[in-house]
Amino acid sequence: MSFTELQSKAAPIRLWGDVDAVEPQAKSQLYNIAKLPWVHGVAVMPDVHYGIGATVGSVIAMRGAVSPAAVGVDIGCGMTAQRTSLTADDLPDDLGHLRSKIEAAIPVGQAMHKSSVDVGHLKTGLHGWHEFWSGFDDLAKSPARRAEAKAAKQLGTLGGGNHFIEVCLSDDGQVWLMLHSGSRYIGNALAQYHIEKAKGLPHNTDLPDPDLAVFIADTPQMEEYRRDLFWAQDYARRNRAVMMALLRQVVRKKFPKARFEPEISVHHNYVAEEVHYGENLLVTRKGAIRAGFGDMGIIPGSMGASSFIVRGLGNGEAYESASHGAGRRMSRNAARKRFTALDLIAQTEGVECRKDPGVIDEIPAAYKDIDEVIAAQSDLVEVTARLRQVVCVKG
């Protein structure tokens, strides 16, 4: 499927998926984004929905500028997946014990580790830990001071909301491990600090939406934001790597002969410096993954729905991007009002997971149909594996 170009007197807006299914609020946000003088273009993914400032499921390419709210407050949020040597036949009929072990090893929700994880004895596959932590001292002082005590203890923790840890089966019966999380409290604190800072700059006084305030290249404010942004993105990547290493330990204890293929790890709330249409651009993906030619990616569904491992096709008209998931079809409050715990039990049949009122807002029906979302971006990615959850851990 190719894109539909929305009529805009400003920068081009290319949308993959059903234009009529996009909420009016989200469309207004897209038009507001396109009006910004720094915007080269906007690519809209089929999982698009209303967000703060910028829509979730949008790719915004700017010349010499970046909007912190267009990145989102969970800087570096993303996915990691790993194929194992295990098959469906290796799994026990009752997966409750495995879920309990995962929840005991990896703090979820507001919980954190009692002390920082010893990454020196944990096989994360990542290096440069000393240099990474040394960068903490250079971060914006106000939010960093508030987060210093939490940052080390939250590394290797899941969080809540739509974040999850899963054990999945592919169509060919292989066991996969998959998780979704970001930069935890430190990323949020840095994001909120810079969003407010950007709103106070003179060049942002006449914007169509104050939440779209930007930093401009070659200014001290932009340099400070870039420093904090890229550090938080690295924190998010390392957070997922630590969790995946802890998850592998749980699996190895239960299945000593298990082997693991290399991880696939992708951000879907982040900024990257890229060249498109022969120009150096700052590309913000808020609820979107990079899908350059051959890039491996992960597009998850909701709890109880399919997820997909994909390979990018390098579509330049989408700034080499694809969707980050199914995308919400209704707000969390609307889902809580509409559905019950009995609905959740029915919609997550066959999945070992929480089925209590505390996660009703994550019920599959609150999300768009993942199969339709995948079909709408056949010119952005090709599917290499389809997964279904058998264990889902949420905070």
Q: Which residues are catalytic?
A: 324
Closest CA to 180 of 98, 268, 90: 268
Nearest to 115 by CA among 152, 147, 148: 152
Here the tokens at position 132 are 């990474």
Contacts of 381 (CB under 8 A, 6+ apart): 291, 297, 299, 310, 311, 312, 313, 322, 374
Neighbours of 90 (CB within 10 A): 14
Element (H, E) at 191: helix 184-199
In angstroms, how far is the first alpha carbon of the chain from the final one?
36
Residue from 223, 210, 277 nearest 70 by CA: 210
CB 213 within 8 A of CB 68: yes
Q: Report the C-alpha gap between 46 and 376 in whole angstroms.
A: 6
Tell me the DSSP string of 214-266. -EETTSHHHHHHHHHHHHHHHHHHHHHHHHHHHHHHHHHHH-TT--BPPPEEE
Tell me the backbone φ, ψ of residue 368, rounded to 5 degrees.
-70, 165
How remote is the C-alpha of 75 from its chain's centroid? 9
Burial of 281 (0-12, 13-18, 19+ CB in 10 A): buried
Distance CA 370, CA 376 (A): 10
Task: Output the CA angle 339-342-343, nearest 5 degrees.
Answer: 45
Cβ neighbours around 59 below 10 Å, total: 27
Give the whole-angstrom CA distance, residue 187 versus residue 352. 30
Instruction: Find out whether 46 and 268 touch, Cβ atoms under 8 Å.
Output: no
